[in-house]
Structure formats: structure tokens, C-alpha cells
Structure 1
Amino acid sequence: MTDATIAARILALRAELDLHSHRYYVLDEPSIPDAEYDRLFNELKALEAAHPELVTADSPTQRVGGAALSAFGEVRHEVPMLSLGNAFEEDDLLDFDRRVREGLDLPAGDLFGGGAEIEYCCEPKLDGLAVSLLYENGLLVRGATRGDGSTGEDISTNVRTIRNVPLKLHGEGWPSVLEVRGEVFMSKAGFDALNARQVESGGKTFANPRNAAAGSLRQLDPKITASRPLEFCCYGIGRVEGELPTTQVGILQQLRVWGLPISRELKLAKGADACLAYYRDIGERRASLAYEIDGVVFKVNDLAYQRELGFRAREPRWAIAHKFPASEELTELLDVEFQVGRTGAVTPVARLKPVKVAGVMVSNATLHNMDEVARLGLMVGDTVIIRRAGDVIPQVMQVVLERRPADARPVHIPEQCPVCGSAVERTQLVKRSKGKETFSEGSVYRCVGRLACGAQLKQAIIHYVSRRALDIEGLGDKIVEQLVDTGLVASPADLYTLSYEQVVVLEGFADLSTRNLLTAIAESKRPTLARFIYALGIPDVGEETAKLLARALGSLARIQAALPEVLTWLPDVGGEVAHEIHSFFEDSHNQTVIAQLLERGVQLQEEGELHAEFAACTTFPEFLDRLNIAGIAATGAKNLAEKGGSLEGVIALSQDWLELSVMKGLNEKAKQSLREFFVVAENVARARAIEQQLLAFGMHWASEKKQVAGLPLAGQTWVLTGTLEVMSRDVAKEKLEALGAKVAGSVSAKTTCVVAGPGAGSKLAKASELGVRVMDEAEFLTALSGFGA
């Protein structure tokens, strides 16, 4: 055979094998026997071995990669892989449908009709591992796990071994860049066969198909992955550069044309009732399906509607997973142990006689808190009903009292922490209202040992070094435990005193790993203020609140000093969160740790002035209202502000009974409360302290309302709507906020500008109606460039 003939034969064999693989693995319609497929495959393999220069990445022989990897690399998802909201009852799905129709401003039903009906794409929710496949010019170039939604692991070599994943898209017309998202799973038959082989070879068996699929896909040796019966089913797309159909079902059907497997149960349903009918039908047939599912996914079919509905923080508003009822089993409660968390919460955990629930062996279950133990009437030795809530988290649902043994023992919260021996105290809840504070017992018990408690210390440091906090690579949970157990680290600040000699002798460390860890710790010394605040682990302060504190107050010093009443002027910071923040920074131990962090080289980035939005943001009537004087609400505070003119004027008025008695706009009860409030020296001092801090921060009503230098959009309100194609809306929001603008979720007469991408709907219409300026993405990018952003 000539070289040209060999090359042509190789191309023909590849095309024929791809066709047969597609018919076998995707269409389930094999047209040749396995022996014939093997003959063709072996012929191709022999030709490529003789002519290695003709081997290409999309050849069927390349599904099993070469050498094992030492580790997986990271992949940043340009379009985040979001999770879905859950529906567990039919009413949850009906509520979802109602929210969708309201979000699209569609007609509601009444006595004379059912209103508008939405078309939904319906698919079973496979119980597997979410992955992303990236195709460029039709060729598979990368595979990645979902990870945390923003960053996943590069599993490109392993996904190439999955037989129904095309290495090259079929047909033509595909976008130049196409990111396909779906689930890697293992069928019930494949799982049983794998476990049978494991038993035969003396290996460890897997608990369920999902664990088997996840473990198989994350093997460092792709040959092991190739030996596992993995399958792929796509359910959507991510990044796309090119044209696709305008509906969810249309996209999936087009992907099938290009050789990608989709669910055979894919259907289109019109309205919530049709969705419920689909859910019931799949539920009835669940046991007979060839694979495990834990529910059904419903997605708004129209992509323009999807864009208009948008996203919440971590999930789309246009999709929901309707989960099947959790599986339940009976077992025995062997004991109740207590775990200590990052905030010191002492939580009861049920130790159970192992039982298989929905395919998973369960030996532990959450009990939440001691109130839950009391509600259940739980005693050690009881027979209990266990449920995997949402088919994931084992939970004790009920005690079977008629099976209680005579020697059953009550469950008591320990008086001393099981880790450090410090006292365990029950938390108190404080309800603050006008003129009074009401205390009640909380449901949580806490160890008072703080960072002297090994469990709290470990969890605090694990949080401090986590990806969304200081992001110190290489400091996993086990290493943190070693550092604490060996006494090398007693607070997050001690991480910055670690030496080469201290680390290199730890288990699992050598010269290179030690140097890498110390480099990662050193590189963490320049966090943004927002990341640092989040990393401190303040109770009830998540990422968004940390960002708000950093953006609004601008400096660690202001955040540390802020009084609870001042913090409540920030959006979405309520009274309880404000008191948690203030209490955290008032604690002397926390003050010491923060001081040590700064002394040991942590340099906060992006510190600055108070955000322009909060300059002179308070009014005198609001100030008086927030003093929580009994009987004085917004209207009374306004009248009091007009009469008193200033805080000192109001204090003087409160003690001038003659002048106060003739004042209009306050009833007698409110006047008496005012007098009693300012008779108390502590209340007077507190009010003056709040006013002084408002003045110091520039938030006081007498402060100058000004644009902070370097923030050209300070005082402006912008709205983002539709799909931004060059940058995500999150990035656009960050850039606008960095320029001083407030980014709002709705359009009003006060809106400065609306940035409208493709799919913009009601917000764009509202902007046109109000005469608000509108930019497309190109104009927006030009404007950002002009500001140097």
C-alpha cells in the first residue's frame, strides 16, 4: 500500500468506527457484531502503530491515554456551572411556575382561565458527576469537573476514555467554540458488573453507582478510567461562539445530531400540570430505568425567557430540580456523639447500626441540635427511621417507640467540651424591639474555649486558608490538623511564622512540597479587604456581607470600630448580624489575632475611603428612630427631629417636661418613653457615641455629600439586564462598583443608565418608558475603557 492509500484507509476506518460507536453507545442501535468492530479497531491500531506520524487526537485508538497523571490541573469555568434549586413537594413546583410567570410579567390565571402557560424542557436528573466538555472547531480539547461551580479539575484525558463522548463532533455547522455540559454516570448493570469484577480480583466494592462514577472519573491513571463502564449524557451548554437554536430542547436535539448523547426521556411540557404528570410518570418507572435518578429537572424552554429571568446568587431562576421522596429505612441508634464546629457549636451526631438507604450504607446521621433530640424523644438504643433527605444527607426522622428496649439511655449534652474540656454553654437569643430587649434560650450549645479548643482552631484555620478566603494552596484539612496537633499553629497568625525546618519533618512533606507550601503562605499576605474579612470567620458573615463591609466602610479600622447601630445603615445588614460583627471585633482574643496577622506581614489591599454611596446617608429622623425608643416610630421621630433640631436639643427637650407636654406629634405614652429613655445616662452616652461615629465616618446628616476622588460614577445607579457576551454580569457589576456606582436590580426614575445585552426584556422596556439612558455591551465596554477600568 502506498502512503496515500494507507492514510486514506486510516481515515476510512476512523469514520466507520466513529459511526458504529455512535450507533452502539448513543443510539443503542448497533449495526455490526462486536467481533467485526474489534477487527476494524485492530486494523486501525496496527496501521497507526506502523505509521505513528498519522496518529491524531480524535482517533478512536486514543481513548485510552498514556502515562498516569501526578495530579489534576485546575480549570476556571468562564460561564459558572451553577447548582439548581430544589422542589420536594408538588406545591414547590407550582410555586416555581408561579415565580417564572411573575418574573416574565405574564398573565396570571383567574376564575375564567388558567393564565399563560410556560413550555418546560423535562429530563430525568441523573445521579452522577457534572462535567464540562469543550469542543473547538468540532474537536474535543478539554474536559473538566464542576468543582465549586467556578473552578473545576482538568479531566481531559479521562473523559476521552468514555465511549459515548465523541472526540470529534459529527456533521457540520457546529460553533467554533462549544462547551457542552452533562452528567457522567454508571448504569445499574455496569455498576453490578464492576462490583463483580472487584470481588473477583479482591478489590474494594463501591457503595453505589454515583460514587463509582465519581471515583472512576477522578483516577490519575486514565487506563483505570477506561476500564470502567462510564457513560455521558448532556443536558445543556456553557460557553458558545456561534449560532444555536433558541430553545433548550432545540439545542439538545441539535447536540444529538452532532453525536452527543441526550436523555431518551427528554420531553416538552406545557404548564405546571404537564410537568407534574411527567414527574409522576418517571417516578413510577424509576425502578425499571437502566440508571439511577434522584428526581426530574424542569427548565424554561425559551432561551430569551431564561435570559430575562436570570440568576440568583448560585442558581438560575428558570430551572428547578424536583426531587423524589427520600428513601427510608429502620435501624438502631447505637450512640450519640458530639462534634465541635468552627464557631464552637456542639452538635449531636447519631451513630447508627449500618443500614443501606437508597443504595448507600449509612452509619451516621445528623441530629441538628438538642431541641431536635428532644422533639424526637430520642434515646440511645432506640429503633429509628432514617431518611436520606434529598437522597443525600442521612437524617433521623422518627423513633419507633414500641421497639424501645428497657435499657434505653437518655441523651444529655456534655457539660465539658469533648475536645478541650472547656465549659459548654447554651446560647441566648436576643430580640430587640422598641424600648426593650427580650432574652430567650437558643437551640445551640457552644464550647467557650474558642481557639484554645483544638476542634474550633482547626476549623477556623481550614476556613481561613480556603479557596474563597485566603486561598492558600496546599493547606488541606489533614495538613492543618497536623499543624495544630503538633503545636506549630495556635491561630491563623501562626501560619506566617512557620519555618522550613518545622514543616519539612511533617508527615507527607519533602523539600519541594515544603518550599511550595511556604511560598503559598507568603503569597497570601496581600489579600483584598473583603477576602480578609470573610477569612476571619465572623459568625453570619458570608462572602457577600464581607464584600459589602469592605466596599461600604473601606477600611479594616472602620469595620473594627463600627457600632451595631451604624452597621445597620448598610444594606442587608440587620440588627443581629450587626451585633455579631461588633461582638467579634470587641473580643480581646480576636483583636490580638488580627494585630498579629498585620504584624506578621499581612497587607490588606483595596482599602480606601468610605464609599460615596454612604456619605451623609443618615437623616436625623432615621437616627432617632433607630435609637429604639418605645412608642417613637418613623412619624414620631420626624416630628421630634423638627422640634429638637439636634441630638442635644432632643436630650434637653426630653427633660423639659413643660416644653415636651405642649409638643404636637407625640402622644403622651411616647413623651413619657422619651423622658425615661434619656434619664438613663447609658442611653445618652450611647446616642452620643453613635452620632460621633457617624460624624467620624462621614455618614452623619451634616457630613458633606461628595464624590470620592477616583470614583467617577459615585452617586449613580446602574442596571444590568440581558446577556453580556464579552464579560459576565458579575464582572460588570464589580467594575461599576469599583467606579463608585450602585448596581440595582430594577429600573426607576433614579436610574442613571441601563446596560442591555441580548435577551433584555421588561427592564429595557421600563428604561425606554422612563427615558433612562440605555447602552449596549459595546458602548458599555467603551465607557469602561474611558474610565480606565
Structure 2
Amino acid sequence: MSSAELRIAALREQLAQHNHNYYVLDAPTIPDAEYDRLFRELQALEQQHPELRSNDSPTQRVGGEALKAFAQVQHEVPMLSLGNAFSDDDLHDFDRRVREGLGDLLPAGDLFGGGAAVSYTCEPKLDGLAVSLLYENGVLVRGATRGDGSTGEDITLNVRTISNIPLKLHGDGWPQILEVRGEVFMSRAGFAELNARAMAEGSKVFANPRNAAAGSLRQLDSKITASRPLEFCAYGFGRVEQGELSDSQFQILQQFKQWGLPISPELKLVQGAKALLAYYQDIGARRDQLSYDIDGVVYKVDDLAWQAELGFRAREPRWATAHKFPAQEEITTLLDVEFQVGRTGAVTPVARLAPVQVAGVTVSNATLHNMDEVARLGLMVGDSVIIRRAGDVIPQVVSVVLERRPEHARAVEIPHSCPVCGSAVERTQLVKRGKGKASVSEGSVYRCVGRLACQAQRAQAIIHFASRKALDIDGLGDKIVEQLVSQALLHSPADLYQLSFEQIVGLEGFAELSTRNLLQAIAESRTPSLARFIYALGIPDVGEETAKLLARALGSLERVSQALPEVLTYLPDVGLEVAHEIHSFFADAHNQQVIAGLLANGVQLQEEGELHAEFSACATLASLLEKLNIAHVAATGAQRLAERFGSLEAVMAADWLDLRSLERFNEKAAQALRDYFAVPAHVAYAQQLEAQLLAFGMHWNSERKQLSGLPLAGQTWVLTGTLEAMTRDDAKQQLEALGAKVAGSVSAKTHCVVAGPGAGSKLAKAQQLNVPVLDESAFIQQLAALKG
């Protein structure tokens, strides 16, 4: 190596270490002037030897020309939001749900205790912008915003300008592919400095540090971002390939710190709910003394295996929550309570308030959630009420100031008939399923029974059906749907496909071109994927990810619509309550009529096929017995029954002597089993479950489909660039359905790369390694050939 190369390498190493000491360890070892001298020396050498410049050099944090627009990034591991706790009771409920979810995995406690305490990591919840940093072979190659959790913005050039983000990880031992997740924020001092500079220049000032950080990170010119005092704090990870991390959340963050990634100095590992509350109170007491804004603290189950066991609910993990600090509160007057009707028919009370400023925002409406909440508050129209912005976002009524109640105050009453359609309003019932029985109680929600006869439900159902993540009917916005419904042109989503030119062209806002465009968009939506169609139906508690899972796993609308609740729970992250919602939806005669109307009007589902190979023969006799929820028969007992009797019929026919001879199967369990199968309805349902498992190919005696028998089994594919005819998620699912593994990086073992517009380093590496490359058109042709 030349002397210049050696000096440049030495300077880069020194500056990286000094950055680490300053930003991560908060222990600088040289004065600023000395740092500046070393930095300028490196700049001069790189200018003299441009061939020696490197993207991971400390001098290369500022990007080049301003970007014209941000490219989209598909998060291969979704960036989920967190559930919230707002009170001590909420915190204890979170800890209880975690312990119940872990069940037998949680070690027993002492003789008088209720089980061992769960270990949690605790850290402040920074008020900034969530980002993803992707490192390949230790080098930062991509930065992205969280976006909607599935798709974010490519902000690589901007994150490179943030001083405490290492462009190259320190040390060794990191996975070859490592996605670090964290928060970009602005300190209070940095925010004050930025606004002071803006005022001096006569430019716009920011309202708060969070807005300043978000606005700075989304600049199209990375030089502007570089001029802003942004900081980064790592709190988790996404993709990890070709390497391993610790099995502890706390230890992973310690690894991050060793690799030069900043983590919260307030990070702490504690045991149990009492310690969580103590941490919350401690941070809360010191909140104003911190150098940055926080809006709460975050708790996460420390053990990664336990995180996996607990899984996810909708779009949030069951193993983590954000404990929010009380928001700013104000007093105002409740002028009235109105009732809104939602897509599912829920009749929800909404408080109309005398306008008041809360946390810098004028509030005139607030959520009341449901009538149980109205009763809990003892709320009456005319009351003086305390309002807060729960979680700093949604205004809500906290309490009533009883001493100010006026004489004319009147009670809040749920309407007997729907305020939109006049149909009856009924209170929902809750079914709680336990061992061998179900108890029914009154729910907190009231619903209009008018279904699609109710204009509000009809409009909301069709708006959801046409939304971007559903059938994505361009131009069919809320106002247009409401107009079509009010004109009695739409009574269900199926009616969309019977609309004529003459019916639309005369409506407000429509001319010939806009009418033809709308009809064309509706026509183009006739071939949705099965996943989009399931999501578009608006099944309660079935979001986009659950819809994708149902489509991928079961493969056809027929199987999804026929699946019994216990069969659905064989799919990952589908609990029994969601399974009952899905089953009840498809069992409803009205919903069946709407689906039949859609299919009769030319909707043709795409990507239907067989049960995914992953779920073939996935059921066992033991798991089926466990899912029957027989009192005193848990997983271990179910396994012993399966091993002893071998078939469902033999278990149901087992007599008292057979069961008494079963090792470690106690008398209570034996009696409960006999009592359960003494009920003809239980026998019939168990047989129905087994018959469906056989029909679907999930039964323990079904043929197990080997992934090796699929056309792309054993192959590794890589997707890069922007796909136009399908999303990256769709392409990934189709490849996986054909047996391929979809990786995030290109290597000599990669079988093929699919490159869309904007493909960069992965395409270059594929060409360097002579890996076959397909454009999107060729990829689609190959998919068709493989499926054909």
C-alpha cells in the first residue's frame, strides 16, 4: 500500500473511534479542535487521491445533488407499531397477558407466589421518527422510514449525514445482513439552535423537536439534512441473515453498542410488573431533566424465544407495549353527544365540545369509546369535563368536574334506532371460551342491525372494499361512494360491477372522461388476488397481514370460507377469537349473498391454488384433542391420549378402564374426557373437525407435501429495484409458494435475480458473479410457465 493509502486508512479508523467515543460512549478523548484537524487532513488526502474515496469514510456523510423523489422500500419484516398502556392497571394487564400467554414456559415461582416474574427491557420512548438501517457485511447500504409499516421511503443519503450512525460497524461478529431499527430525533438544545438559526435567516420555524426531526429526515436534498442536529438511537432489529444475534433483547442492544450503534443510556433490564412501574415513575420524575423529548417508556419481553411464543396481534406485538405519560389536560364544556355508525355497524358516542386548546391543538370533538365508558365517567350533557389528548394524538374525555354540573344537565342515552337508517340498535354479546364451555355476557358495543340496508354501513363497507390495500379502485373516493349510495345506485360492493355510464355521468362532479375513467378502474379491479379480496370483505379483526396469511396458507376462497375455527388456529398468529370472527363472517347468509354477487358479476380471484405445502399434514391427533378444550386435558394429557389410542375414534370410545391404565392421566382428566364425549354434539363436532382436516390435507394421515417437490425448491432468489405489475411482497409470496427462498443479498449461491427499475448494487453484483437476471416481464412469464 502507498503512504497515502496507509494514512487515509489510519485517519478513517481514528475518526470512527473518536465518533464512537463522543456519540456512543459520551466520553471524548480529544478536543474538538484536534478532531477537526484530523478530519480536514483526511478531506485533503481524499481530494488529492479521488481513487481512494470510500462510501464508508467519515467525510462522505453529506450526499450529492438533491433527489427528485424518494424511492419506496418494502420492509421484508414489517415495522409494527406498539400497543399502549396509559395507567397502572393497563401495565398490570399487559404483564398478566404476557404471563398467561407464556403458560407452562414460565418457570414456577416460590411456594406462595404466582409464578416467576418475566424479565423485561425498559427504555424511554423517544419522540422522533422510526427508521430502518440495513448493513451488508458491516457497511451501511440503506436507510428507510417506517412508512405504513410495510412500505417506507428510501432515505439512505439522508441517514448517512447523521453523525452518530456508523457508516461501517465496529469490531466483528455482526451478521452479514443486519437490519437495525431505531429512532431519529432532535435534542431540545439542537431544536432551539435550529429554530434560532431559522429565525435569524427569516425562514420557517418548527413547532416541536419531533416535527423538526421528521421534516429534516425527509429533505430531498441531503445537504439540508446534514445541516440539522439529528441523532439516532437503536432499539431493535428486523432482518438478520448469515449470522446470529443473542437470544436476549438486552444483550442484542449491548452487541449493537459494541458495534458502534448508539443505544439509550437509560436502557435497563428488570423483572416483573412492580419493577416496570418503578422504572416508569423514575423516568417520569426525571423527564424534564433529559436532553430530549419522550412521551413514555417501552417495555419488551427480554427472551426472544418467549417473544416468538407470544407472537403478534393485528399490527402490534403481544410481547411489547408503550407506557405513555399523561398528556396535557384542559377543562371545557360538553355541548352534546352524537352517535356515529361505522363500517361494522358499531354505534359510537362522540363528544361535541366547546373548542379548547390542548397540547397546541384546538379540540372540539373527543372519543367516548362506548356507552360503558359514558357510564363509568357518569357523563351528562352540559357537564364541565377534563379533556386530554391520549397518547398525544386522540382527544378523549378523562373525567367530569361534578361540582360544576349545571341544573339543566341531561343524561346520555343510546338511541333505540339507528340515527342513519332507523333500524334497531342492539347490544353485542361476548362469548368467552374456556375448557369445554362458553359463557355469554353483554358486550360494550351497540350495533345497528340494518347491515347494508343502513346507508352509513353500506358506504363505509364499499369505501373499505375500494381502498388502496383492498381492491384499489382508483378514483372511487369517500365522497363519490357516499354520492352513489345516496342515489341508491349501490347497495353492496357487488353493485359496483353493474354501474353504467348513464348512471354516473349525470352525477355531481362527473363528465364523460371522468365517468369512463371510473368505469375502467372498476373493470380493472375484477381480477384481485385472493389476499386482497379477503381483506376487502372487511371481516372484523382481519387486517391486511391476516388476509395474506389466509390466502397463502389455505389457497382458495372455498377453504377459507368453510374453515372451522379450530382448523384456522393451525395457522400462525390466528387465535381462537379471530378464528370465530372469520368463521362467523362466512357463515352469515347476508355475507354469502354479497360474495356470491361479486363472483356472479365477474370478479375472478387470482392466485388461488392448493393448500400450502407448509401446512400439509400439519395437524396431529394430540393438537386436535387439545383444541377441543376439554377440562383438565392440557397439551401433555392430549399427547398421552394420542400415543395410547392412535385415532380420534379410539379416544372417543375409550372406557374407564382404558383411561385408568393410561400413565400419569389423572382421574379428573379421565372423567372430564368421558363427560365431554358423552355429549352427542361434541362427538359430532370433533368428527367434523377431523373430516375437514382430511379434506384440506392437514390431517396427520394426509400426504405430506415436501417443499423439495416444488419447481423452485432449494433455489435462492433475490428481488431488487421497483416492480410495477406486482408488489415485492406479492412476488416474494409467489416465489415461496413455488419452493424458493427469497434472500436479501446476492451471493455465488443465488440462483436468479429479478431486477426492476432502479436496481443498484445487487444487480451489479449479480452481473459480476454471472448470476442469471430477469426483468419483470421475463419473471412474470417464468412464473406463468412454472404454474402452468
Label 1:170 to 1:498 Cα distance change in 2 as closer, same or farther (>3 A). farther
Q: State the SS of the aligned residue for 1:110.
A: coil
- What count of residue pairs does the alignment treat as equivalent? 642
Aligned equivalents of 2:211, 2:169: Cα separation in 1: 29
Name the aligned partner's letter for residue 61 of structure 2. R
- Partner residue, 2:23: 25
| CA-CA distance at 1:165 after TM superposition | 0.9
Q: 5 Å matches for 1:285-296?
A: 285-296=286-297
Structure 1's 520 and 34: CA in aligned 2 closer, same or farther, altered over 3 A?
farther
Q: Secondary structure at the match of 1:58?
A: coil
Decide whether the 8 Å contact of 1:104 with 1:308 is kept in 2: no
What is residue 595 of structure 1 aligned with on the other side? 597
Residue deviations 1:234-275 (CA, integer Å, cap 9, x gap): 123333333545544333233223221111122344565554
Distance 1:338 1:69, change over 3 A: farther
- What residue ranges of structure 2 are gaps of 5+ in the alignment? 433-438, 570-575, 629-648, 654-673, 707-715, 718-728, 739-786
The answer to whether the 8 Å contact 2:417/2:425 transfers is no
User: Aligned residue for 2:585?
Assistant: 581
Indicate conservation of the 8 Å contact 1:185/1:230, yes or no: yes
Q: Which amino acid aligns with 1:188?
A: R
Find the residue that maps to 2:180 and give its secondary structure: strand
Aligned equivalent of 2:524, options 522, 526, 550:
522
Matching residue's letter, 2:585: I
**Shift of residue 230, structure 1, vs aligned partner:** 2.2
1:229 aligns with 2:226: no
Kindly tell me: are residues 432 and 401 of structure 1, through their superposed partners in 2, closer, same or farther at Cα, counting changes over 3 Å?
A: closer
Return the offset for 1:232: 0.9
Q: Give the whole-Å Cα distance in 2 for the aligned partners of 1:569 and 1:157.
A: 48
Partner Cα separation in structure 2 for residue 37 and residue 243 of structure 1: 35
In 2, Cα distance between equivalents of 1:499 and 1:55? 63
- Return closer, same or farther for 1:406/1:58 CA change in 2, 3 Å cut-off: farther
Checking the alignment, whether the CA contact within 8 Å between 2:161 and 2:225 is kept in structure 1 is yes
AA in 2 matched with 1:527: S
Equivalent residue number for residue 714 of structure 1: 702
Local SS of the residue matching 1:252: helix
In the alignment, which of 34, 42, 66 is matched to residue 64 of structure 2?
A: 66
Taking structure 1 as reference, are residues 283 and 540 closer, same or farther at Cα in structure 2, changes over 3 Å only? closer
Contact 1:45–1:61 (CA under 8 A) maintained in structure 2 = yes
**Are 2:258 and 1:257 aligned?**
yes
CA deviation vs aligned residue, 1:70-118 (integer Å, no higher than 9, x gap): 544343334444455555426346536745875434232124x897566
Secondary structure of 2:165's match?
A: coil
Contact 2:617 2:697 in 1 (8 A): no
Residue identity matched to 2:601: E
Cα pair distance change 1:142/1:557, threshold 3 Å: closer
Could you tell me which runs of 5 or more consecutive residues in structure 1 were left unpaired when the two chains were aligned: 623-637, 643-664, 667-673, 675-686, 719-725, 740-787
Q: 1:578 to 1:119 in 2, by over 3 A?
A: closer
Q: Which secondary structure state, in structure 2, belongs to the residue aligned with residue 225 of structure 1?
A: helix
Q: Does 1:209 align with 2:233?
A: no
- Going from structure 1 to structure 2, the CA distance change for 1:584 and 1:374 (only over 3 Å counts) comes to same
CA 230–377 in structure 1, closer or farther in 2 if over 3 Å, else same: same
CA distance in 1, matches of 2:230, 2:330: 29
8 Å contact kept, 1:182–1:235: yes
Q: What TM-score comes out, normalization by structure 2 length?
A: 0.63
Equivalents in 2 of 1:417, 1:33: separation in Å? Answer: 71
Could you list the per-position Cα deviations for residues 693-725 of structure 1 after superposition, in whole angstroms to 9, with x for gaps in the alignment? x9xxx9599x8995668999738899xxxxxxx
Q: Quote how far apart the aligned CAs of 1:135 are.
A: 1.0
Give percent identity, aligned residues only. 55
- Determine helix, strand or coil for the equivalent of 1:162: coil
1:126 paired residue number? 126
The one of 447, 461, 464 aligned to 1:462: 464
Cα offset, 1:556, TM superposition: 4.7
Q: Which has the larger radius of gyration?
A: 1
Partner SS, residue 591 of structure 1: helix
Q: Classify 1:345/1:18 alpha carbon distance in 2 versus 1 (closer, same or farther; 3 Å).
A: same
TM alignment of 1:135-174, pairs within 5 A: 135-174=135-174
Q: CA deviation at 1:126?
A: 2.4
Tell me if structure 1 keeps the 8 A contact 2:181–2:238.
Answer: yes
Separation of aligned partners in 1, 2:611 and 2:280 = 54
- Aligned equivalent of 2:481, options 460, 476, 484: 484
Instruction: Pick closer, same or farther for the CA change 1:132–1:578 going to 2, 3 Å.
Output: closer
Structure 1 residues 197 and 403, CA, compared in 2 at 3 Å: closer, same or farther? farther
Change (3 A) 1:408 1:187: farther
Q: Measure the CA separation in 1 of the matches of 2:693 and 2:248.
A: 48
Aligned CA distance change for structure 1 residues 453 and 161 (closer, same or farther; 3 Å): farther
Contact 2:424/2:450 (CA < 8 Å) preserved in 1?
A: yes
- 8 Å CA contact 2:174, 2:243 repeated in 1: yes
What is aligned with 1:402? 403
Match of 1:606 among 596, 608, 621: 608
Determine if contact 2:371/2:444 at 8 Å carries over to the other structure. Answer: no
Change beyond 3 A, Cα 1:343–1:370: same
Alpha-carbon offset, residue 382 of structure 1? 3.3
* Aligned mates of 2:53, 2:577 — CA distance in 1: 61
Provide the residue aligned with 1:770 in structure 2.
Answer: none
Whole-angstrom CA distance in 2 between matches of 1:333 and 1:78 = 46
Instruction: Give the aligned residue type for 2:394.
Output: I
Quote the offset at 1:447 in angstroms: 8.7
Map 1:24-43 to 2 at 5 A: 24-30=22-28
